[in-house]
Structure 1
Amino acid sequence: MHHPMQVELVNDYSGQALRVSIDRSVAMLDAPDLDALIEHLALLRAKMHPEIPQQVSRQHKYVIEIDPCWYTEKNAIFEGAVMFFRHTGFNWTGFAVPKESLIKLIDALSQHVDECQETYSMPN
């Protein structure tokens, strides 16, 4: 079976690169090129239909980042916060979260912390 597009990680003289082949055309992308492409593709995907589902699918196998780096700051434009999470494949992703959603998020995370403490606490 012929696959018109192939993508592979290769080592060239300047380091690692992504080799993208479509039929007889080839492009070599270094890490900054790939970051720019991923960001551009995400912006285009955001404009496409069908849109990304509002709910998490229980059947999909998501890429999960364990203990990601994160950063948060107050937003000067609206009442809420901006949260950034670092993903080793997708780069830093930012989310502007309004106050009402922050309260819900804090409550949900607090519930997870409480459940962890109950599950993993050592008996006296």
Structure 2
Amino acid sequence: MSGPEWKLSDDLKTVTITFPTSPPVQFVLDAAAVDDLLRNLGELRAHMTPPVPADYQIGQKVAAIPDPRWYTEPEMLSGDSLIHVRDPRFGWLHYLLPRASAQQLAQYLTRQAEDEPCPPTRPN
């Protein structure tokens, strides 16, 4: 049995997922339902095994989002850095970096912005 069939409607407002069961089962989801599905699948994936690797293997080919919108603000209680990044596939993603990690990220980004292109660096 092959996997489900995914189809975006001509008006770009719904996705139809057809599962190859007998009889076939079909779901039609609007953008809000897709957002809910992604959020819930993400939460469930976070608890599955094997886990997402803790470290990233630098140099992999990725489908990067060019120049995404982003915002940063201090977290109200601790003053750590809240980073908000817009991914057109998954919505706004939010990350909380402790001050030391935020400083390290700032150093890496500053170095990359000022230096000639060079091999990627890995944090400690």
Give the TM-score band, short-chain normalised: 0.7 to 0.9
The aligned counterpart of 1:37 is 37
The aligned counterpart of 1:109 is 109
Cα distance in 1 for partners of 2:8, 2:78 equals: 42
Q: Identity, % of aligned pairs?
A: 25
Structure with greater proportional helix content? 1
Shift of 1:57: 3.0
Classify 1:58/1:102 alpha carbon distance in 2 versus 1 (closer, same or farther; 3 Å): closer
- Structure 2: where are the runs of 5+ without partners? 118-124
Structure with greater proportional strand content? 1
Shift of 1:87: 0.7
Cα distance in 2 for partners of 1:116, 1:60 equals: 21
SS at match of 2:115: helix
Shift of 1:63: 2.4
Q: Does 1:20 align with 2:17?
A: yes
SS at match of 2:103: helix
The aligned counterpart of 1:11 is 10
- Structure 1: where are the runs of 5+ without partners? 118-124
Q: Does 1:70 align with 2:45?
A: no
TM-score (norm 2): 0.82
Task: Tell me the amino acid that sits aligned with residue 65 of structure 1.
Answer: I
Q: Does 1:51 align with 2:48?
A: no
The aligned counterpart of 1:121 is none
- Aligned length, in residue pairs: 114
SS at match of 1:11: coil
Shift of 1:113: 1.0
TM-score (norm 1): 0.82
Task: Tell me the amino acid that sits aligned with residue 3 of structure 1.
Answer: S
Q: Does 1:85 align with 2:82?
A: no
Cα distance in 2 for partners of 1:6, 1:98 equals: 42
Higher radius of gyration, 1 or 2: 1
Classify 1:74/1:46 alpha carbon distance in 2 versus 1 (closer, same or farther; 3 Å): same
